[in-house]
Amino acid sequence: MYYNSILETIGNTPLVKLNNIADDIPGTILVKVEYFNPGQSVKDRIGIKMIEDAEEKGLIEPGGTIIEGTSGNTGMGLALAAVIKGYDCIFTTTDKQSKSKIDLLRALGAEVKVCPTDVEPDDPKSYYSVAKRLSEEIPNSYYPNQYDNPSNAQAHYETTGPEIWDQTEGKITHYVAGMGTGGTISGTSRYLKEQNEDIKTVGVDSEGSVYKKYFETGEFDKDEIHSYLTEGIGEDIIPENMDFDQLDDVMQISDKDAFLTTRALAEEEGLFVGGSCGAAVHGALEYARNNEFGEDDLMVIILPDSGTRYVSKIFNDEWMKEHGFLDSDAE
């Protein structure tokens, strides 16, 4: 057996049981390890889906250019598909993203433009605005706009949700995922709740994001917005893919808790993953500890990406100490 291209290897990622860092919690805690995808993240699923849907609609022609704003992982998914399908790529990203993410995108032949983080989304210098402007200026270009593109959530409705349902033999009781564009959590939750409406979906947000307060009050509060270092979750906008009706609760996690849990996953579980993975696991375990999680419960947590993206940051003691996440005498 062989695959016709690397794109056919996307999906069907494994579920792995957490043992050591969840040993005080009854029931079963599983993680879906998305770094088994060829681009080492969950975003491979939406990269190919958004491009193929665009092709079907005639939104991009052969030899065209894909232009997207990305924290890195969606760019990788799009770039992989572009290599196979013969498209060029231009990605905009923010200056808080790790250098390794940018280098990986360039390794796949993409052009990357780094934009400032601390500007309003509608500022002409924001990575949202720059991507949109370039897509208007460059002929035969396609701007997927993962935030509002329904193909994002649909990819997870068609793949991630069914995989989790089948892998747990329908026994899943709780689903947990980070909240970034909203596609992963919303599309997967929609499928799972269609199978069993009693499944609880817990979103994990980052401190400095508008999501948690918006979920609880319906108010978009700009005063909630401040800088944070966890990549890939939280927003200063409300994307169309973020379907709050799919959520039962939202946990908001600090950078420190996210990053220390990320390191614990490597050191205690052998799972070398990224910072949003640590945030998701920390939020999931806190939820389980505080919500009468029982012996018969089965939780699945999405681990979006690989630790290879964060070697110079989360797994670098000096960087962690500089930002106050490790004691100065920590080994």
Q: What is the pLDDT of residues 229-253, one digit of tens each?
A: 999 999 999 999 999 999 999 999 9
Give Cβ neighbours of residue 106 (< 8 Å, ≥ 6 apart).
112
Q: Select which of 43, 49, 101, 200 is catalytic.
A: 43
> What residue segments make up the domains of the chain, in order of their start?
6-37+156-322, 44-142
| 99 is an active site residue | no
CA atoms within 13 A on the CB side of 192: 33
Tell whether the model's pLDDT for residue 101 goes beyond 90: no
97 token code pair: 């993203």
| Residue 289 burial (CB count, 10 A) | 12
Judge if 6-37+156-322 and 44-142 fold alike in CATH terms. yes
Q: What is the pLDDT of residue 129?
A: 94
Tell whether the model's pLDDT for residue 323 goes beyond 60: yes
Give Cβ neighbours of residue 302 (< 8 Å, ≥ 6 apart).
31, 32, 34, 42, 160, 176, 177, 178, 184, 185, 188, 280
In which band, very low, low, confident or very high, does the pLDDT at 327 lie, cut at 50, 70 and 90? confident
**Domain 44-142, what fold?**
Rossmann fold (3.40.50)
Q: What is the pLDDT of residue 206?
A: 98
Q: Mean per-residue pLDDT for 193-218? A: 97
Which CATH class, in words, describes the domain spanning 6-37+156-322?
alpha beta
Contact (Cβ atoms closer than 8 angstroms) between residue 211 and residue 246: no
Contact (Cβ atoms closer than 8 angstroms) between residue 259 and residue 314: yes
Q: Mean per-residue pLDDT for 14-24? A: 97
Tell whether the model's pLDDT for residue 316 goes beyond 70: yes
User: Mean of the per-residue pLDDT values for the chain?
Assistant: 95
Q: What is the pLDDT of residue 329?
A: 58
Q: What is the pLDDT of residue 111?
A: 96
- Give the pLDDT confidence of 104-137 residue by residue, as tens digits: 899 999 999 999 988 888 899 999 999 999 999 9
Q: Mean per-residue pLDDT for 130-159? A: 96
Q: What is the pLDDT of residue 259?
A: 98
